[in-house]
Chains A and B, each alone.
Chain A
């Protein structure tokens, strides 16, 4: 296949993936809307059920949604439950399919470059890779954390970002600058993407935690079927606790090693570096807050969201504010070693 074929393949694959993600989103919406008519089992019932299936409380026992004993005034007892279960499974299946298509798109981008390279040379590819990792993580953790309630949000998140990427960030496949041709950079970017994905998922769960915490326990609708705040908090923590060391590795180890090789000093206080550092410090604050009296719970969750905001700001916003950045071409055309627009 020629480079152009690969690029076209990538384009088609991403379009297909977008459509399939959208269908997955639809399936999840049907799943959840048919549940709206169904009251959540009362708290006491649920607790009884939980302790029947597991040995205790306080750990990651998500409230089983689909398996809730459903008794409605209108329809037959089993019917809505089966329907929702089916749409839930369909959504999951479609998400898996879209994820595979997206992988094809990523590989295509890499193969379309001459010489072949890793598919994260610009913002477009970065978003593609990042959302892909989000989906992979969601799928990988689906069973362990019983994430069925995350389905609509993850698919909506990914569909939105892919649209943004295709419409505003798209750039043709372009070769990398010489300085970007370093194994350290590959590791650096992979880990930054993985950490970004983990933090993004973690941020979604933290936001849900805050919403659930605040809600007055309605007995219907999406919020009612989210796991207990405690469980949400714990899932968010696990995601952040995974993301933080990876982020440390990305911005405080591989980033500086590469910067040293290319720019002669390992830390330059370049705006991108500053914001990566700020993100790191805020998430360290989040982990601290969870162990600090008076900061656990809500305040910690807010810190996690602040951390996510700094992360995304660094990715998108800083390009418009910064006056000097070696991470962009702006102002440093003379240099051999300015990094691309990541």
Chain B
């Protein structure tokens, strides 16, 4: 931050502190005279000081911690509700403090908003100062160059004027900006590295851009998930989502009216080597219609390669099996449906629930495991791999009231057994029904279950994130600014030449205006260049 021309001090770093550098003490004032305006000005100055910025930064870091330890509703709502159940005493307190949604909480927002205000308050004056500095001339040489942090001197036979001409050349070649020469100058003044401050300003401004982009995403965006069984489809309306997280200003009417069907799903199971049993090369073959009256299009959806439809994106995030099960009730009514089973481990051993509310005379519920590759080892059922080589179902049957009529929402993956009785075999053992494809097994007390076949399901995450390109552009700009800010070295160099008794004494002085430069080598380089073409002259560098 170049202020007006002044003799630089080695401790010049301080003038980059806006508090110290930008706000010279006001006129003398009597005690007790602090008016409202002054008070406000004082508060503003405090808020935009480097120290406040630093403390707010540290607070931000501190405030982010609880969200990584306490389960967050926005990250994993299931875990959060489990945690609440386990901690009935803490839950109300945590709730009041917003600890289940730290990153949306008032206090977290307050910190980063204050930081942003501080940032704006800090940047605006710096922009003005920078604008002036850009047009200012490099300051004239201080009287004693050898007191500067970087300095060197030597004597030469060249006339002082020639040395200075050469110095202008040398420094010009190194892209220093030169102070215009005036008659009678005994020194050349040069400065470089103006872009450092520009980089720093760009960095800080870009942070604002990132925040805006991020806010757009969380306010106007949404994300939702849906499980689709192969052969069926999905239309992009709210009611078709299994779960759904809208931004606070999200307008459901703005959802794009596409639909798609999952035609088939491929997965490759590795059968040998280290990766045995691992699934890979997942591909969902989709047919989709961007709008209700557009032509159908096809897309092979893979992990890391989402399908973009307008501003909405569809991601493949999980897969599993959906056995097709037919249940006949005691009255002979038939219901057939694919049922989504949830994988319990990497071999896709899956758990699922079948509910038949329309069954007569009693409602029927089934619950149990699906083995894609069933093998019996020592009398125990084992699932070898996730490939459906030997699909087998093992279910327990219940009759009674499924509890669906109470109106309370119920998970399709959970069987509420409070109104149900487990069916027993005549010998008193639970009525376990083991089925392979094509098998039909009677249920104790009437009816039967048939395992018709296996379909696959995919879970899709569908989301719209407005502002994401803005945020990305912002971070990239911030990085570019940061690189400039950290690696461009603003520096002032002066070269003075005076004739003395044994020739011309040349002094080079340099002042680094940022941290971490290597002044000595810079000065040495300049000296070498200055002496470069003086043939026959053997300059001795001294200090």
Contact = CB atoms under 8 A, between A and B. Distances in A.
Nearest to A273: B68
Interface string B69-81: 1111011100100
B149 A56 contact: yes
Contact of B75 (A113, A249, A268, A290): A268
Range class of the A interface residue count: 35 or more
Interface string A82-94: 0000000000000
B150 A333 contact: no
Given A55-B150, A55-B152, A181-B304, A336 B17 contact: no
Interface in B46-60: 50-51, 53-54, 57-58, 60
A217 to B, nearest CB: 22
B368 interface: no
A337 interface: yes
Nearest to A53: B520
A267 B519 contact: no
A164 to B, nearest CB: 24
B319 A336 contact: yes
Nearest to A295: B54
A59 B518 contact: yes
A179 B320 contact: no
A318 interface: yes
Contact of B223 (A179, A265, A289): A265
Contact of A253 (B14, B479, B487, B516): B479
A173 interface: yes
A324 B80 CA distance: 9
B478 interface: yes
Interface of B is mostly: mixed
Contact of B16 (A172, A261, A291): A291
A293 B19 contact: yes
A270 B275 CA distance: 27
Identify the interface centre among A274, A287, A337: most chain B CB within 10 Å of its CB: A274
Interface in B146-175: 149-152
Identify the interface centre among B57, B151, B304: most chain A CB within 10 Å of its CB: B304
Given A59-B517, A337-B303, A337-B317, A51 B274 contact: no
Contact of A269 (B83, B103, B517): B103
A264 B152 contact: no
Interface in B306-327: 306, 313, 315-320
Contacts of B520: 54-56, 59-61
B345 interface: yes
A175 B268 CA distance: 14
A262 B304 contact: yes
A249 B475 CA distance: 9
A282 B303 contact: no
Interface in B76-107: 76, 79, 83, 103
Contacts of B282: 178, 336
B283 to A, nearest CB: 11
Range class of the B interface residue count: 35 or more
A241 to B, nearest CB: 5
Contacts of B521: 59
B305 interface: yes
Contacts of A238: 516
A334 B305 contact: no
Contact of B475 (A182, A252, A275): A252
B246 to A, nearest CB: 13
Interface in A268-320: 268-271, 274-275, 277-278, 281-282, 284-285, 287-296, 303, 310, 318
A263 interface: yes
A318 B10 CA distance: 44
A56 B479 contact: no
B465 interface: yes
Given A55-B150, A178-B280, A179-B304, A274 B67 contact: yes
A293 B543 contact: no
A266 interface: yes
A277 B517 CA distance: 29
Contacts of B150: 55-56, 58-59
B238 interface: no
B543 A56 contact: yes
B518 A264 contact: no
B75 A282 contact: no
A334 B519 contact: no
Contacts of A262: 303-304, 315
B389 interface: no
21 contacts: A55-B152, A55-B520, A56-B523, A59-B520, A175-B275, A182-B304, A237-B516, A241-B516, A252-B475, A262-B304, A263-B315, A263-B317, A264-B223, A265-B465, A288-B53, A291-B16, A295-B54, A323-B70, A323-B76, A324-B76, A336-B316
Given A56-B149, A245-B479, A323-B83, 16 more contacts: A175-B278, A177-B278, A178-B279, A178-B303, A244-B482, A253-B472, A260-B468, A261-B305, A269-B74, A278-B61, A288-B53, A291-B17, A293-B20, A294-B51, A334-B343, A337-B318
Interface of B: 10, 13-14, 16-17, 19-20, 50-51, 53-54, 57-58, 60-61, 64-65, 67-72, 74-76, 79, 83, 103, 149-152, 214, 217, 223, 270, 273-275, 278-282, 303-306, 313, 315-320, 342-346, 461-463, 465, 468, 471-472, 475-476, 478-479, 482-483, 486-487, 515-521, 523-524, 527, 541, 543
Interface of A: 3, 51, 54-61, 113-114, 172-175, 177-179, 181-182, 234, 237-238, 241, 244-245, 248-249, 252-253, 256-258, 260-271, 274-275, 277-278, 281-282, 284-285, 287-296, 303, 310, 318, 321-324, 331, 333-337
